[in-house]
Structure 1
Amino acid sequence: MSAAPKPVVLWAVPRSRSTAFLRIMLERGDLEVAHEPFSYLQVDGHFEFAGRRATSPVELLDALLDVNATERRVFAKDTSDYRYAPLLEDDRLFTDVINTFMIREPKGAISSHYAMNPDAALDEYGFEYLHAIFDAVRSTTGEVPLVIDGDDLVANPEAVVRAYCERVGLEFMPEALSWKPGEQENWRRTGRWHAEVAESSGLVAKAPERRETPDTNEHLRRVAEHHQPFYDELARHRLVAV
Protein backbone atom coordinates (compact mmCIF):
# COMPACT_ATOMS: atom_id res chain seq x y z
CA MET A 1 0.00 0.00 0.00
CA SER A 2 1.41 3.41 -0.95
CA ALA A 3 1.83 6.09 1.70
CA ALA A 4 -0.91 8.71 2.05
CA PRO A 5 -0.13 12.01 0.33
CA LYS A 6 1.37 14.64 2.60
CA PRO A 7 -0.20 18.02 3.34
CA VAL A 8 1.15 20.85 1.20
CA VAL A 9 2.25 24.19 2.66
CA LEU A 10 2.96 27.22 0.48
CA TRP A 11 5.30 29.67 2.24
CA ALA A 12 5.05 33.04 0.53
CA VAL A 13 6.45 36.54 0.58
CA PRO A 14 3.68 39.00 1.46
CA ARG A 15 2.06 40.52 -1.65
CA SER A 16 3.37 37.78 -3.91
CA ARG A 17 -0.12 36.87 -5.20
CA SER A 18 -0.24 33.89 -2.85
CA THR A 19 -3.89 34.50 -1.94
CA ALA A 20 -4.80 34.22 -5.62
CA PHE A 21 -3.02 30.87 -5.64
CA LEU A 22 -4.92 29.83 -2.52
CA ARG A 23 -8.16 30.87 -4.25
CA ILE A 24 -7.37 28.34 -6.98
CA MET A 25 -6.86 25.65 -4.35
CA LEU A 26 -10.20 26.58 -2.75
CA GLU A 27 -11.99 26.40 -6.09
CA ARG A 28 -10.86 22.80 -6.61
CA GLY A 29 -13.25 21.60 -3.91
CA ASP A 30 -11.24 18.50 -3.00
CA LEU A 31 -8.88 20.03 -0.44
CA GLU A 32 -9.11 21.22 3.16
CA VAL A 33 -7.64 24.71 2.78
CA ALA A 34 -6.09 26.81 5.55
CA HIS A 35 -5.36 30.49 4.99
CA GLU A 36 -2.31 31.73 6.94
CA PRO A 37 -2.90 29.43 9.92
CA PHE A 38 0.44 30.02 11.62
CA SER A 39 0.23 33.79 11.09
CA TYR A 40 -3.27 33.93 12.58
CA LEU A 41 -2.12 31.73 15.48
CA GLN A 42 0.76 34.12 16.11
CA VAL A 43 -1.56 37.15 16.25
CA ASP A 44 -4.69 35.69 17.86
CA GLY A 45 -3.21 32.98 20.07
CA HIS A 46 -5.43 30.33 18.50
CA PHE A 47 -6.55 28.98 15.13
CA GLU A 48 -9.64 26.97 14.20
CA PHE A 49 -9.13 24.36 11.51
CA ALA A 50 -11.70 21.77 10.43
CA GLY A 51 -13.39 21.91 13.83
CA ARG A 52 -10.14 21.71 15.77
CA ARG A 53 -8.85 24.54 17.96
CA ALA A 54 -5.08 24.91 18.16
CA THR A 55 -3.29 27.21 20.61
CA SER A 56 0.32 26.39 19.72
CA PRO A 57 2.31 25.61 16.58
CA VAL A 58 2.64 21.98 17.70
CA GLU A 59 -1.13 21.64 18.17
CA LEU A 60 -1.76 23.31 14.81
CA LEU A 61 0.64 20.99 13.01
CA ASP A 62 -1.08 18.09 14.80
CA ALA A 63 -4.40 19.29 13.37
CA LEU A 64 -3.10 19.71 9.82
CA LEU A 65 -1.55 16.24 9.84
CA ASP A 66 -4.58 14.58 11.43
CA VAL A 67 -7.06 16.10 8.99
CA ASN A 68 -4.79 15.14 6.09
CA ALA A 69 -4.63 11.56 7.33
CA THR A 70 -8.31 11.06 8.21
CA GLU A 71 -10.39 13.43 6.09
CA ARG A 72 -9.15 15.37 3.05
CA ARG A 73 -5.73 16.38 1.83
CA VAL A 74 -4.63 19.69 3.32
CA PHE A 75 -3.32 22.76 1.52
CA ALA A 76 -2.13 25.68 3.68
CA LYS A 77 -0.73 29.04 2.64
CA ASP A 78 1.27 31.22 4.98
CA THR A 79 3.47 34.28 4.79
CA SER A 80 6.97 35.13 5.95
CA ASP A 81 6.29 38.40 7.75
CA TYR A 82 6.17 36.52 11.07
CA ARG A 83 8.72 34.23 12.73
CA TYR A 84 7.82 30.60 13.35
CA ALA A 85 10.71 29.37 15.52
CA PRO A 86 8.78 26.68 17.47
CA LEU A 87 7.38 25.27 14.22
CA LEU A 88 10.82 25.03 12.63
CA GLU A 89 11.98 23.03 15.65
CA ASP A 90 9.35 20.34 14.94
CA ASP A 91 10.90 17.63 12.76
CA ARG A 92 7.48 16.71 11.35
CA LEU A 93 7.46 19.95 9.35
CA PHE A 94 10.29 18.49 7.29
CA THR A 95 9.40 14.79 7.27
CA ASP A 96 5.59 14.84 7.05
CA VAL A 97 4.85 17.99 5.01
CA ILE A 98 5.59 19.09 1.44
CA ASN A 99 6.95 22.64 1.80
CA THR A 100 6.75 24.87 -1.27
CA PHE A 101 7.63 28.54 -1.72
CA MET A 102 6.35 31.61 -3.58
CA ILE A 103 8.32 34.72 -4.45
CA ARG A 104 7.76 37.87 -6.47
CA GLU A 105 10.17 40.43 -7.89
CA PRO A 106 10.99 42.64 -4.87
CA LYS A 107 10.10 46.04 -6.32
CA GLY A 108 6.55 44.94 -7.07
CA ALA A 109 6.04 43.07 -3.80
CA ILE A 110 7.60 45.80 -1.67
CA SER A 111 5.63 48.59 -3.36
CA SER A 112 2.37 46.69 -2.86
CA HIS A 113 3.21 45.89 0.77
CA TYR A 114 4.10 49.51 1.54
CA ALA A 115 0.82 50.69 0.04
CA MET A 116 -1.03 48.41 2.46
CA ASN A 117 1.20 48.97 5.50
CA PRO A 118 3.60 51.94 5.31
CA ASP A 119 4.70 51.25 8.90
CA ALA A 120 5.99 47.75 8.10
CA ALA A 121 9.36 46.93 9.65
CA LEU A 122 12.23 45.80 7.46
CA ASP A 123 11.82 42.10 8.19
CA GLU A 124 8.06 42.17 7.57
CA TYR A 125 8.69 42.41 3.84
CA GLY A 126 9.57 38.77 4.19
CA PHE A 127 12.25 37.82 1.68
CA GLU A 128 14.99 37.24 4.24
CA TYR A 129 12.85 35.01 6.44
CA LEU A 130 11.36 33.15 3.48
CA HIS A 131 14.90 32.29 2.49
CA ALA A 132 15.58 31.11 6.05
CA ILE A 133 12.60 28.73 5.93
CA PHE A 134 13.64 27.54 2.46
CA ASP A 135 17.19 26.91 3.68
CA ALA A 136 15.93 24.99 6.74
CA VAL A 137 13.83 22.72 4.49
CA ARG A 138 16.67 22.22 2.00
CA SER A 139 19.25 21.53 4.71
CA THR A 140 17.06 19.09 6.61
CA THR A 141 15.62 17.15 3.67
CA GLY A 142 18.61 17.33 1.34
CA GLU A 143 16.27 18.35 -1.47
CA VAL A 144 15.62 21.68 -3.17
CA PRO A 145 12.01 22.70 -2.47
CA LEU A 146 9.65 23.85 -5.18
CA VAL A 147 9.66 27.63 -5.76
CA ILE A 148 7.10 29.47 -7.89
CA ASP A 149 7.00 33.15 -8.82
CA GLY A 150 3.85 35.28 -8.56
CA ASP A 151 4.70 37.15 -11.75
CA ASP A 152 5.08 33.85 -13.61
CA LEU A 153 1.75 32.72 -12.17
CA VAL A 154 -0.09 35.72 -13.57
CA ALA A 155 1.73 35.57 -16.91
CA ASN A 156 1.00 31.86 -17.49
CA PRO A 157 -1.49 30.54 -14.91
CA GLU A 158 -2.26 27.20 -16.49
CA ALA A 159 1.37 26.18 -17.01
CA VAL A 160 2.47 27.20 -13.51
CA VAL A 161 -0.48 25.62 -11.70
CA ARG A 162 -0.25 22.45 -13.79
CA ALA A 163 3.48 22.09 -13.03
CA TYR A 164 2.93 22.83 -9.33
CA CYS A 165 0.21 20.21 -9.07
CA GLU A 166 2.40 17.66 -10.80
CA ARG A 167 5.26 18.29 -8.36
CA VAL A 168 3.14 17.98 -5.21
CA GLY A 169 0.96 15.10 -6.38
CA LEU A 170 -2.33 16.87 -7.07
CA GLU A 171 -4.59 16.35 -10.06
CA PHE A 172 -4.58 19.45 -12.25
CA MET A 173 -8.07 20.94 -12.53
CA PRO A 174 -8.16 23.67 -15.19
CA GLU A 175 -11.67 24.69 -14.15
CA ALA A 176 -10.27 25.93 -10.83
CA LEU A 177 -8.43 28.75 -12.60
CA SER A 178 -11.63 30.83 -12.62
CA TRP A 179 -14.17 31.54 -9.90
CA LYS A 180 -17.05 33.76 -8.84
CA PRO A 181 -15.94 37.02 -7.21
CA GLY A 182 -16.53 37.32 -3.49
CA GLU A 183 -14.82 37.37 -0.11
CA GLN A 184 -13.98 34.00 1.39
CA GLU A 185 -14.49 33.05 5.02
CA ASN A 186 -10.87 31.85 5.12
CA TRP A 187 -9.50 35.38 4.87
CA ARG A 188 -12.36 37.50 6.24
CA ARG A 189 -10.37 38.70 9.29
CA THR A 190 -7.68 40.22 7.05
CA GLY A 191 -10.01 40.97 4.14
CA ARG A 192 -8.57 44.37 3.18
CA TRP A 193 -5.31 42.64 2.19
CA HIS A 194 -7.16 40.35 -0.20
CA ALA A 195 -9.66 42.74 -1.80
CA GLU A 196 -8.20 42.37 -5.30
CA VAL A 197 -8.62 38.60 -5.23
CA ALA A 198 -12.13 38.91 -3.78
CA GLU A 199 -13.12 41.23 -6.64
CA SER A 200 -11.54 39.03 -9.31
CA SER A 201 -12.76 36.00 -11.21
CA GLY A 202 -9.36 34.66 -12.23
CA LEU A 203 -5.71 35.52 -12.74
CA VAL A 204 -5.23 38.45 -15.07
CA ALA A 205 -2.08 40.55 -15.52
CA LYS A 206 -2.90 44.19 -14.83
CA ALA A 207 -0.89 47.37 -15.20
CA PRO A 208 0.64 48.26 -11.81
CA GLU A 209 -1.11 50.99 -9.85
CA ARG A 210 0.63 54.29 -9.30
CA ARG A 211 2.28 54.04 -5.90
CA GLU A 212 5.56 54.64 -4.10
CA THR A 213 8.30 52.28 -5.30
CA PRO A 214 11.98 51.70 -4.55
CA ASP A 215 12.68 53.95 -7.54
CA THR A 216 10.80 56.89 -6.02
CA ASN A 217 11.15 56.36 -2.27
CA GLU A 218 14.50 56.24 -0.44
CA HIS A 219 13.17 54.10 2.39
CA LEU A 220 11.82 51.51 -0.04
CA ARG A 221 15.10 51.58 -1.95
CA ARG A 222 16.91 50.51 1.23
CA VAL A 223 14.28 47.84 1.91
CA ALA A 224 14.71 46.47 -1.62
CA GLU A 225 18.49 46.49 -1.41
CA HIS A 226 18.34 44.48 1.83
CA HIS A 227 15.96 41.84 0.48
CA GLN A 228 17.19 41.56 -3.11
CA PRO A 229 19.96 39.01 -2.38
CA PHE A 230 17.48 36.68 -0.69
CA TYR A 231 15.10 36.95 -3.63
CA ASP A 232 17.95 36.32 -6.05
CA GLU A 233 18.95 33.14 -4.24
CA LEU A 234 15.37 31.84 -4.19
CA ALA A 235 14.81 32.85 -7.82
CA ARG A 236 17.71 30.62 -8.87
CA HIS A 237 15.45 27.67 -8.04
CA ARG A 238 12.15 28.97 -9.34
CA LEU A 239 9.96 26.75 -11.46
CA VAL A 240 10.13 27.53 -15.17
CA ALA A 241 6.86 26.25 -16.59
CA VAL A 242 6.38 25.80 -20.33
Structure 2
Amino acid sequence: MWSGPRNLSTAMMYAFAARGDCAVWDEPFYAAYLAATGLDHPMRDEILAAHEADPDKVAAACSGPIPQEQSLFYQKHMTVHMIPGIDRGFMRDCVNVFLIRHPARVVASYAKKREDPSLADIGFVQQAELFDEVSGWLGRAPVVVDSLDIRANPRQMLHKLCDAVDIPFTEKMLTWPAGGHPSDGVWAPHWYGAVHRSTGFGEPEGPLPDLSPEYQALVDQALPHHERLAAFKL
Protein backbone atom coordinates (compact mmCIF):
# COMPACT_ATOMS: atom_id res chain seq x y z
CA MET A 1 0.00 0.00 0.00
CA TRP A 2 1.62 3.24 -1.20
CA SER A 3 0.65 6.57 0.27
CA GLY A 4 2.04 9.80 1.56
CA PRO A 5 1.88 10.65 5.26
CA ARG A 6 -1.40 11.49 7.01
CA ASN A 7 -3.39 9.41 4.50
CA LEU A 8 -5.37 7.03 6.73
CA SER A 9 -2.45 4.66 6.21
CA THR A 10 -2.10 3.51 9.82
CA ALA A 11 -5.83 2.82 10.17
CA MET A 12 -5.63 0.76 6.98
CA MET A 13 -2.72 -1.21 8.43
CA TYR A 14 -4.76 -1.87 11.57
CA ALA A 15 -7.71 -3.01 9.46
CA PHE A 16 -5.61 -5.60 7.67
CA ALA A 17 -3.91 -6.68 10.89
CA ALA A 18 -7.36 -7.27 12.41
CA ARG A 19 -8.17 -9.89 9.74
CA GLY A 20 -6.26 -12.58 11.64
CA ASP A 21 -4.60 -13.99 8.50
CA CYS A 22 -2.35 -11.03 7.66
CA ALA A 23 1.10 -9.96 8.86
CA VAL A 24 1.72 -6.21 8.67
CA TRP A 25 4.85 -4.07 8.41
CA ASP A 26 4.86 -0.37 9.31
CA GLU A 27 6.91 1.80 6.92
CA PRO A 28 9.68 -0.70 6.15
CA PHE A 29 12.07 1.84 4.59
CA TYR A 30 11.74 4.70 7.11
CA ALA A 31 15.09 4.09 8.81
CA ALA A 32 16.85 3.55 5.48
CA TYR A 33 15.35 6.82 4.20
CA LEU A 34 16.53 8.77 7.23
CA ALA A 35 19.99 7.22 7.09
CA ALA A 36 20.41 8.03 3.40
CA THR A 37 19.03 11.57 3.49
CA GLY A 38 20.22 12.76 6.89
CA LEU A 39 16.84 14.45 7.43
CA ASP A 40 15.97 15.51 10.96
CA HIS A 41 12.58 13.91 11.56
CA PRO A 42 10.92 13.56 14.97
CA MET A 43 12.50 10.63 16.88
CA ARG A 44 15.22 10.21 14.24
CA ASP A 45 17.76 8.64 16.63
CA GLU A 46 15.22 6.21 18.06
CA ILE A 47 14.11 5.15 14.56
CA LEU A 48 17.65 4.49 13.41
CA ALA A 49 18.40 2.52 16.58
CA ALA A 50 15.27 0.37 16.42
CA HIS A 51 14.80 -0.35 12.70
CA GLU A 52 16.80 -1.81 9.82
CA ALA A 53 18.56 0.93 7.85
CA ASP A 54 20.04 -1.21 5.06
CA PRO A 55 17.61 -0.81 2.14
CA ASP A 56 18.75 -4.03 0.46
CA LYS A 57 17.93 -6.06 3.57
CA VAL A 58 14.55 -4.33 3.85
CA ALA A 59 13.73 -4.98 0.19
CA ALA A 60 14.68 -8.66 0.53
CA ALA A 61 12.33 -9.01 3.49
CA CYS A 62 9.53 -7.27 1.58
CA SER A 63 9.62 -9.92 -1.13
CA GLY A 64 10.69 -12.80 1.10
CA PRO A 65 8.63 -15.28 3.15
CA ILE A 66 5.54 -13.91 4.87
CA PRO A 67 6.21 -13.44 8.60
CA GLN A 68 4.36 -15.23 11.40
CA GLU A 69 3.26 -18.04 9.05
CA GLN A 70 0.39 -15.87 7.80
CA SER A 71 -1.16 -16.16 4.36
CA LEU A 72 -1.16 -12.41 3.59
CA PHE A 73 1.41 -9.65 4.12
CA TYR A 74 0.34 -6.00 4.28
CA GLN A 75 3.18 -3.53 3.85
CA LYS A 76 2.44 0.11 4.69
CA HIS A 77 4.87 2.03 2.48
CA MET A 78 5.49 5.77 2.31
CA THR A 79 6.10 7.04 -1.21
CA VAL A 80 8.61 9.59 0.12
CA HIS A 81 10.92 6.76 1.20
CA MET A 82 11.57 5.52 -2.34
CA ILE A 83 14.52 7.82 -2.99
CA PRO A 84 17.13 7.23 -5.71
CA GLY A 85 19.45 4.43 -4.70
CA ILE A 86 16.76 2.23 -3.16
CA ASP A 87 16.13 -0.73 -5.44
CA ARG A 88 12.46 -1.01 -6.36
CA GLY A 89 12.71 -4.49 -7.79
CA PHE A 90 10.89 -5.97 -4.80
CA MET A 91 7.74 -4.16 -5.94
CA ARG A 92 7.34 -6.65 -8.79
CA ASP A 93 6.82 -9.40 -6.21
CA CYS A 94 3.93 -7.48 -4.61
CA VAL A 95 0.44 -6.33 -5.46
CA ASN A 96 0.82 -2.55 -5.44
CA VAL A 97 -2.14 -0.44 -4.30
CA PHE A 98 -2.22 3.35 -4.05
CA LEU A 99 -3.99 5.07 -1.15
CA ILE A 100 -4.79 8.70 -1.89
CA ARG A 101 -6.09 11.68 0.07
CA HIS A 102 -6.80 15.26 -0.97
CA PRO A 103 -3.64 17.34 -0.44
CA ALA A 104 -5.49 20.00 1.57
CA ARG A 105 -6.34 17.39 4.20
CA VAL A 106 -2.81 15.97 4.12
CA VAL A 107 -1.14 19.37 4.53
CA ALA A 108 -3.46 20.42 7.36
CA SER A 109 -2.81 17.18 9.24
CA TYR A 110 0.93 16.99 8.57
CA ALA A 111 1.58 20.57 9.68
CA LYS A 112 0.18 19.75 13.14
CA LYS A 113 2.97 17.19 13.62
CA ARG A 114 5.87 18.71 11.67
CA GLU A 115 5.92 22.37 10.69
CA ASP A 116 6.54 23.82 7.25
CA PRO A 117 6.21 20.72 5.09
CA SER A 118 7.57 20.84 1.57
CA LEU A 119 6.21 19.20 -1.58
CA ALA A 120 8.82 16.47 -1.15
CA ASP A 121 7.60 15.77 2.40
CA ILE A 122 3.99 15.01 1.51
CA GLY A 123 4.68 12.44 -1.18
CA PHE A 124 2.33 13.35 -4.05
CA VAL A 125 5.00 13.68 -6.73
CA GLN A 126 6.61 10.43 -5.62
CA GLN A 127 3.24 8.67 -5.53
CA ALA A 128 2.48 9.66 -9.11
CA GLU A 129 5.95 8.51 -10.19
CA LEU A 130 5.50 5.11 -8.56
CA PHE A 131 2.00 4.84 -10.03
CA ASP A 132 3.43 5.42 -13.51
CA GLU A 133 6.19 2.88 -12.91
CA VAL A 134 3.77 0.18 -11.80
CA SER A 135 1.36 1.02 -14.64
CA GLY A 136 4.23 0.61 -17.08
CA TRP A 137 5.03 -2.96 -16.18
CA LEU A 138 1.42 -4.02 -15.57
CA GLY A 139 0.17 -2.52 -18.82
CA ARG A 140 -2.77 -1.05 -16.92
CA ALA A 141 -3.47 1.18 -13.95
CA PRO A 142 -2.94 -0.42 -10.53
CA VAL A 143 -5.61 -0.26 -7.86
CA VAL A 144 -6.27 3.18 -6.34
CA VAL A 145 -8.43 3.75 -3.27
CA ASP A 146 -9.39 7.11 -1.77
CA SER A 147 -9.32 7.62 2.01
CA LEU A 148 -12.34 9.93 1.67
CA ASP A 149 -14.40 7.04 0.29
CA ILE A 150 -13.16 4.66 2.97
CA ARG A 151 -14.20 7.05 5.73
CA ALA A 152 -17.59 7.55 4.06
CA ASN A 153 -18.35 3.82 3.83
CA PRO A 154 -15.64 1.56 5.30
CA ARG A 155 -17.47 -1.72 4.74
CA GLN A 156 -18.27 -1.04 1.09
CA MET A 157 -14.83 0.29 0.19
CA LEU A 158 -12.83 -2.39 1.99
CA HIS A 159 -15.02 -5.00 0.28
CA LYS A 160 -14.27 -3.38 -3.09
CA LEU A 161 -10.57 -3.22 -2.27
CA CYS A 162 -10.43 -6.87 -1.27
CA ASP A 163 -12.24 -7.85 -4.46
CA ALA A 164 -9.80 -5.77 -6.51
CA VAL A 165 -6.76 -7.57 -5.07
CA ASP A 166 -8.47 -10.98 -5.05
CA ILE A 167 -8.63 -11.65 -1.33
CA PRO A 168 -11.76 -12.33 0.76
CA PHE A 169 -13.30 -9.48 2.72
CA THR A 170 -13.99 -10.03 6.41
CA GLU A 171 -15.99 -7.93 8.86
CA LYS A 172 -13.00 -8.17 11.21
CA MET A 173 -11.35 -5.41 9.16
CA LEU A 174 -13.81 -2.81 10.43
CA THR A 175 -12.68 -2.75 14.09
CA TRP A 176 -9.49 -3.11 16.12
CA PRO A 177 -8.46 -2.72 19.77
CA ALA A 178 -7.60 0.77 21.01
CA GLY A 179 -4.04 1.47 22.06
CA GLY A 180 -1.98 0.67 19.00
CA HIS A 181 -0.54 -2.48 17.45
CA PRO A 182 2.63 -4.48 18.22
CA SER A 183 3.82 -3.83 14.66
CA ASP A 184 3.80 -0.04 15.09
CA GLY A 185 7.08 1.63 14.29
CA VAL A 186 8.98 3.24 17.16
CA TRP A 187 7.79 6.62 15.80
CA ALA A 188 4.18 5.82 16.74
CA PRO A 189 4.04 8.00 19.90
CA HIS A 190 4.67 11.12 17.80
CA TRP A 191 2.38 10.38 14.84
CA TYR A 192 -0.33 7.90 15.83
CA GLY A 193 -2.19 9.51 18.74
CA ALA A 194 -5.58 9.70 17.05
CA VAL A 195 -5.53 6.20 15.60
CA HIS A 196 -4.36 4.77 18.95
CA ARG A 197 -7.53 6.18 20.50
CA SER A 198 -9.68 4.65 17.76
CA THR A 199 -11.35 1.27 17.48
CA GLY A 200 -12.36 1.67 13.84
CA PHE A 201 -12.51 4.14 10.99
CA GLY A 202 -13.60 7.67 11.85
CA GLU A 203 -16.70 9.49 10.73
CA PRO A 204 -16.97 10.77 7.13
CA GLU A 205 -14.72 13.74 6.50
CA GLY A 206 -16.26 17.20 6.26
CA PRO A 207 -15.38 20.15 4.01
CA LEU A 208 -11.78 20.77 3.01
CA PRO A 209 -9.85 22.74 5.65
CA ASP A 210 -9.05 26.43 5.32
CA LEU A 211 -5.31 26.94 4.92
CA SER A 212 -2.84 29.79 5.02
CA PRO A 213 -1.72 31.18 1.64
CA GLU A 214 1.60 29.39 2.03
CA TYR A 215 0.00 26.03 2.66
CA GLN A 216 -2.60 26.59 -0.06
CA ALA A 217 0.24 27.15 -2.52
CA LEU A 218 1.65 23.77 -1.49
CA VAL A 219 -1.75 22.16 -2.04
CA ASP A 220 -1.93 23.73 -5.50
CA GLN A 221 1.40 22.12 -6.39
CA ALA A 222 0.31 18.70 -5.21
CA LEU A 223 -3.22 18.73 -6.58
CA PRO A 224 -2.48 17.78 -10.22
CA HIS A 225 -0.66 14.64 -9.08
CA HIS A 226 -3.54 13.71 -6.77
CA GLU A 227 -6.18 14.29 -9.44
CA ARG A 228 -4.33 12.14 -11.95
CA LEU A 229 -4.48 9.13 -9.61
CA ALA A 230 -8.00 9.97 -8.44
CA ALA A 231 -9.23 9.39 -11.99
CA PHE A 232 -8.53 5.68 -11.46
CA LYS A 233 -9.92 5.19 -7.96
CA LEU A 234 -12.30 2.38 -7.07
- TM bin, normalised by shorter chain, reads 0.7 to 0.9
Q: Is 1:223 aligned to residue 218 of structure 2?
A: yes
Q: Deviations over 1:100-126 (max 9, x none)?
A: 100111111111111111132221011
Pair 47,86 (structure 1): closer, same or farther in 2 beyond 3 Å: farther
Give the structure-1-normalised TM-score. Answer: 0.82
Q: Which amino acid aligns with 2:173?
A: A
Q: Deviations over 1:113-152 (max 9, x none)?
A: 1111113222101111111111111112212110101111
Pair 46,86 (structure 1): closer, same or farther in 2 beyond 3 Å: farther
Contact 1:67 1:74 (C-alpha < 8 Å) held by counterparts: no
Taking the aligned partners of 1:101 and 1:19, their CA distance within structure 2 comes to 14
Q: Residue in 1 aligned with 2:77?
A: 78
Q: Is 1:186 aligned to residue 177 of structure 2?
A: no
> What is the Cα deviation at residue 14 of structure 1?
1.2
Corresponding residue SS for 1:67: coil
Corresponding residue SS for 1:130: helix
Pair 26,70 (structure 1): closer, same or farther in 2 beyond 3 Å: closer
Q: Residue in 1 aligned with 2:44?
A: none
Contact 2:2 2:97 (C-alpha < 8 Å) held by counterparts: yes
Contact 1:81 1:126 (C-alpha < 8 Å) held by counterparts: yes
> What is the Cα deviation at residue 161 of structure 1?
0.7
Q: Which amino acid aligns with 1:29?
A: G
- Residue among 103, 127, 132 paired with 1:135: 132
> What is the Cα deviation at residue 178 of structure 1?
0.9
Q: Residue in 1 aligned with 2:105?
A: 108
Taking the aligned partners of 1:156 and 1:129, their CA distance within structure 2 comes to 27
Taking the aligned partners of 1:198 and 1:28, their CA distance within structure 2 comes to 18
> What is the Cα deviation at residue 40 of structure 1?
3.2
- Residue among 11, 21, 25 paired with 2:12: 21
Q: Residue in 1 aligned with 2:37?
A: none
Taking the aligned partners of 2:129 and 2:228, their CA distance within structure 1 comes to 11
Which structure has the higher relative contact order (CA within 8 Å, separation 6+)? 2
CA RMSD of aligned residues (A): 2.4
> What is the Cα deviation at residue 206 of structure 1?
5.8
Q: Which amino acid aligns with 1:38?
A: F
Q: Is 1:122 aligned to residue 113 of structure 2?
A: no
> What is the Cα deviation at residue 29 of structure 1?
1.7
Instruction: State percent identity of aligned pairs.
Output: 25
Q: Residue in 1 aligned with 2:96?
A: 99
Corresponding residue SS for 1:128: helix
Contact 2:27 2:75 (C-alpha < 8 Å) held by counterparts: yes
